[in-house]
Amino acid sequence: MTSPTIHFDNAATSWPKPPAVVDAIAAYYRDCGRAAGRGGYAGSIRADSIVGKCREQILQLVGAGPSAFTIFAQNGTDALNMAIHGILSPGDHVITTALEHNSVLRPLYHARDAMGVECDIVWPDRNGTVDPRAVGERLRPNTRLVCVNHASNVTGSVQDIAAISQICRGHEKVRVLVDASQSLGKYPYDFGNADWDMLAAAGHKGMFGPLGTGFLVLRERAAADIRPVRQGGTGTESESESQPSSLPYRLECGNLNVGGIAGLSAGLEFVSTTGVEVLHRHEMELNRQLVAGLQALEGIRCWGNPQTGSVAICSLTFERQDVHEVAAILDSSYGMEVRAGLHCAPLALKNGEGGVPRATLRISPGWYNTSEQIGLLVSALSGILESVSS
């Protein structure tokens, strides 16, 4: 009989999902199934209420205030593209970090090649931390955007968003974009106290929503000047040849993923009821147990930060084993899911600057993992190391 799979790749997507998330998705398709904003009948109004509730839940979680807007996207990547391409113009200057995901780097490279946008990349120290002063030193008169990954999907290190935002506030044209995909819902941070302009996140990680959900939160400065990156039907102002100017319709076109949003809403309710502090404490306790167990093994190095000021991510390298081979063995022989490779963050894994090797085995425990499972993982890695050395 096959043993149950143990999922240790929650940085990619949280699994399993809370039962309420699955129930909410099923209930939408079973009992409603209508499009939001596409009719005045009861079913469409019900779909509208699902979407509206989730918008408010997101604003409450990020502490953005009543003047902010929640814009739904296809996923976190789509939300980041919406922000980057909606703000930048030819000749602009951007500051970002070497810890960014390709969801930020590739849109910036495209803007560089297509529009002549200049990009400055700030490298972290060996602890994976970006010095806010290094961001300030790179600000120019034509700086338009500062993109910062709040929590690294490679090392788990967390950046000082408040300090970076404060430095940027002295420059009227600068907009601060935060990628909170690895921190929102799982790291107890007062986002409302940081003076960012745009915050993007995927819904399927720390908020326990389904894949195919994501959003962009806009505060007033960014809401006033962000342009739409696509055009189409919105269910409003249909007589106009142009995309509506009002939000969220300026940026949302076509039918929303209401079933996914229903699941995300249930996930947000789970986070609110359980408490972000409780979720973070549980995951970090597992992460510290993992790091302590791995430090007792020879031929292995931990790159993740097990301290409180991080999220629960541990990246490993081995002296004698290839990380992809170890991941394959854990999957096929032990039923344990981890991720090996570049993690879509190639600069964070660059030798030299940044201090992290080219490829790692990433382990990211989640809410549904247990201390016993961490012990089994350490034992499995010990067995793999012994089999190679014997």
Are residues 186 and 279 in contact, defined by beta-carbon separation less than 8 angstroms?
yes
Coil vs helix vs strand at 162 = helix
Q: Which CATH class is domain 6-16+275-389?
A: alpha beta
Contacts 24+ apart (CB under 8 A), 63-69: 63/190, 63/191, 63/192, 63/193, 64/191, 64/192, 64/199, 64/217, 64/219, 65/192, 65/219, 67/219, 67/220, 68/217, 68/218, 68/219, 68/220, 68/223, 69/217, 69/218, 69/223, 69/247, 69/248
Instruction: Give the Cα separation of 214 and 264 in Å (integer).
Output: 9
| Confidence (pLDDT) at 237 | 87
Question: What DSSP string describes 35-62?
Answer: PTTS-SSHHHHHHHHHHHHHHHHHHHHH
Q: Which CATH number fits domain 19-273: 3.90.180.10, 3.40.640.10, 3.30.1450.10, 3.90.320.10?
A: 3.40.640.10
Cβ neighbours, 10 Å, residue 129: 18
| Confidence (pLDDT) at 356 | 58
Instruction: Give the Cα separation of 267 and 221 in Å (integer).
Output: 29
Amino acid at 268: L
| Confidence (pLDDT) at 389 | 61
Amino acid at 140: R
Could you read off the pLDDT tens digit of each residue along the chain, which spans 390 residues? 345 899 999 999 999 999 999 999 999 999 999 989 899 999 999 999 999 999 999 999 999 988 999 999 999 999 999 999 999 999 999 999 999 999 999 999 999 999 999 999 999 988 889 999 999 999 999 999 999 999 999 999 999 999 999 999 989 999 999 999 999 999 999 999 999 999 999 999 999 999 999 999 999 999 999 999 999 999 888 999 999 999 999 999 999 999 999 999 999 999 999 999 999 999 999 999 999 999 999 999 888 666 667 999 999 999 999 999 999 999 999 999 999 999 999 998 775 444 555 799 999 999 999 999 999 999 999 999 988 765
| Confidence (pLDDT) at 2 | 47
Q: Per the confidence metrics, is the pTM higher than 0.85? A: yes
Instruction: Give the Cα separation of 247 and 70 in Å (integer).
Output: 9
| Confidence (pLDDT) at 351 | 55
Domain ranges in the chain? 6-16+275-389, 19-273
Cβ neighbours, 10 Å, residue 51: 20
| Confidence (pLDDT) at 125 | 87
| Structure token pair of residue 12 | 């990619």
| Confidence (pLDDT) at 352 | 47
